Structure 1
Amino acid sequence: MKKLFSPPWWAASAHIQTILPVFFKVDKPAVSRQRQELPDGDFIDLDWVGEAINGQAILVILHGLEGSSDSHYVRRMLQTAKDNNLCAVVHHHRSCSGEPNRLARSYHSGDTQDIHFTLTQLKQQYLDSPLYAVGYSLGGNVLAKYQGEQGSNSLLEKTIIVSAPLCLAACAKKLENGFSTVYQQHLIKQLQGKMQAKVAEAQLKSDMPVTAKEIDNLTTFHLFDDKVTAPLHGFSDVFDYYTRASGKPFLKHVKKSTLVIHAQDDPFMTDAVIPSNAELSEHVQYELHKNGGHVGFISGGVPWKPTFYLESRIIQFIKS
């Protein structure tokens, strides 16, 4: 029986849930890096904790927007996997491993080709190993879409999706209002910086859909996705991107065991991300918690040493 999440009194605020974990990261276990060359000439970096042995389970971790293996939630999951003798590997989205990717294109919320490539490589090398995956925020949306697209052909035996923006248009709108704009500003600055670096490269400049001056004016996700994300990744405009990349419509097609975890007070979300029963396949277990913020879920401890719900719940689901 799963443990119900309840925040301590000092972490009832969604913003405390979202922000505090950033400042109290656990130490990251030692990782070994593997570079995967992609068919289009780009690369993906994988960070491993534990030894991969054919026949033993592997947990694949997908981080959120502008995250990496250094993100607070990834660090905790890697340490928890190590404590449970579970081999884990972080799939970095293009340009997120500390080194710019080679192409003008980057990554986006609906990009399932790269994770499919990684999973295929893992399955070929570790044929008898069950593959599990956990995706956070953008990485969770990617996994929701992948699971729905692949159906019974999914290479994942179990999948956990945390704080995923399953309705991209509604989430982009939410981040334009109130305190949520603080999160948008923080992330947009990182995205702008990466795009500025690309337009400054002679070999990439002609492939970029915007100029350096135009990038500075893309101060919301809606604008950035319309002028950069959509044209760089084959979408006609922001509305086409948000429609085709949102994960919620894919949940009814999932054929492998999947757990979706949301907090209703998530400052990145609106109720539009919450699927109805009719939008879920019988293979999807949906958990909606009243509190938890965005990839927070502080469950106890003290403000200077918080404890968390997610890692124990993820391990419990994998082992169930």
Structure 2
Amino acid sequence: MPIINSQFSPNFWFKNPHVNTIFSNRIKKQKTPKYFRKRFETLDNDFFDVDTILSESDTAVVILHGLEGSSKSGYILEIADYFSKMWDVWAMNQKSCSGELNLKKTSYHSGRTEELDFLLNKIIDNYRKIYIIGFSLGGNITLKYLGENAQELHPKIKAAVAVSVPVHLNSSVVTLQQRKNWFYQNDLLVSLKKKAIEKLRREDPDSAKILLMEKVTSFIEFDNLYTAPVHGFADADDYWTKCSSKQFLPAISIPTLILNAQDDPFLSNECYPYVEAIGNDQLYLEVPKYGGHVGFLESSGRDRWYLRRLMAFLKQY
């Protein structure tokens, strides 16, 4: 489809990508919707948790958070509250992100779609329509899932949105390693390393990997030491290459919006899939000049602009 001309226009301060990213996710007062938690036990004797807001609607929206986020992340709370006024909300927590470590050595990662597929199969019979919204890592999972399951996708899954999504993981990691983005990488690594060390100690308290993990200072080190070997990839580059959703975009068969700001500090140039969008009439690409990473605030006193944008897009289907 033609590239969408975005209408997002923030005030002066929120034209700074770091202000938009940090204020919206760390400072802005967040909504506090009342969740009801459901635990799903998976076929591999593990579990993941989903927080729900249910009102017997015939339509549901499944929401996926970003790296080291959860259903209680500010941007998830805000969109869950907003969409629950019309539809049932299923806010996923990836494994080990609900406040409790999962049971297995494996965890979640940018290309792991099993939990999304499991949840959709569990709830599909309860609804007339289902939409999927993914943020950042959750957006990559969403797009990968839609592409790799395009031929078998259930007809009740009507449309999807991916926001601030690193569709090309290899180059996004390089972008996050730049000095200007050091804060974001370090912030995420603190949480990732803590969980990984807990799991390593649970498996083998004397593991030499614990000391190595404590010394990790970058995503490439973390993914080489933990993500790749634990999940069956040869190394970090193999993991990023196989799990980047960009290669799956041409196959997507339902209306899908990708919303990536030009100034997103997490995204490389390869994360703006113009060619793929033009070549697939189900794929819509909107690239506002501003917005940061999962920010999109117009001013300090307003909700995120994309709430209205996403609702308008999904309601068409």
TM-score w.r.t. length of structure 2: 0.93
Q: Which amino acid aligns with 2:43?
A: P
Unaligned segments of structure 2, at least 5 residues: none
Contact (CA 8 Å) 2:164, 2:261: kept in 1 or not? yes
1:73 match: 75
Quick check: 1:61 aligned with 2:60? no
Give the Å deviation of 1:12. Answer: 0.8
1:41 match: 45
Quick check: 1:93 aligned with 2:131? no
Give the Å deviation of 1:24. Answer: 1.2
1:316 match: 312
Q: What does residue range 268-287 of structure 1 map to in structure 2 within 5 Å? A: 268-278=266-276, 280-287=279-286
Q: What secondary structure does 1:157 align onto?
A: strand
2:230 match: 232
Quick check: 1:266 aligned with 2:267? no
1:247 match: 245
Provide runs of 4+ in structure 1 moved above 6 Å. Answer: none
Give the Å deviation of 1:28. Answer: 1.8
Q: Distance in 2 between matches of 1:99 and 1:248?
A: 31
Distance 1:140 1:209, change over 3 A: farther
Contact (CA 8 Å) 2:6, 2:286: kept in 1 or not? no
Q: Which amino acid aligns with 2:21?
A: T
Q: Distance in 1 between matches of 2:143 and 2:259?
A: 12
Contact (CA 8 Å) 1:209, 1:232: kept in 2 or not? no
Contact (CA 8 Å) 2:49, 2:98: kept in 1 or not? yes
Contact (CA 8 Å) 1:235, 1:241: kept in 2 or not? yes
Q: Distance in 2 between matches of 1:253 and 1:76?
A: 31
Q: Distance in 2 between matches of 1:196 and 1:79?
A: 34
**What is the CA RMSD across the aligned residues, in angstroms?**
1.8
Q: Which amino acid aligns with 2:171?
A: A
Q: Which amino acid aligns with 1:274?
A: Y
Contact (CA 8 Å) 2:249, 2:276: kept in 1 or not? no
Q: What secondary structure does 2:264 align onto?
A: coil
Q: Distance in 2 between matches of 1:46 and 1:196?
A: 24
Q: Which has the higher contact order (CA 8 A, sep 6+)?
A: 2
Unaligned segments of structure 1, at least 5 residues: none
* Number of corresponding residues: 309
Q: Which amino acid aligns with 1:9?
A: F
2:192 match: 191
2:16 match: 13
Q: Distance in 1 between matches of 2:182 and 2:89?
A: 33
Q: Which amino acid aligns with 1:76?
A: E
Contact (CA 8 Å) 1:209, 1:227: kept in 2 or not? no
Q: Which moved more, 1:13-22 or 1:277-286?
A: 277-286
Give the Å deviation of 1:3. Answer: 6.7
Contact (CA 8 Å) 2:31, 2:74: kept in 1 or not? no
Distance 1:37 1:52, change over 3 A: farther
1:147 match: 146
- Report sequence identity in percent: 33
Deviations 1:43-99, CA, capped at 9 Å, x for gaps: 01010012245xx0000000000111111110110111123x211111110000111
Q: Distance in 2 between matches of 1:152 and 1:286?
A: 22
Q: Which amino acid aligns with 1:147?
A: L
Q: Distance in 2 between matches of 1:257 and 1:27?
A: 29
Q: What secondary structure does 2:149 align onto?
A: helix
Contact (CA 8 Å) 1:209, 1:228: kept in 2 or not? no
Deviations 1:171-207, CA, capped at 9 Å, x for gaps: 1111111221100000001000001111221xx238x
Q: What does residue range 110-125 of structure 1 map to in structure 2 within 5 Å? A: 110-124=111-125
Contact (CA 8 Å) 2:6, 2:287: kept in 1 or not? no
Q: Distance in 2 between matches of 1:149 and 1:209?
A: 36
Q: Which moved more, 1:239-248 or 1:268-277?
A: 268-277
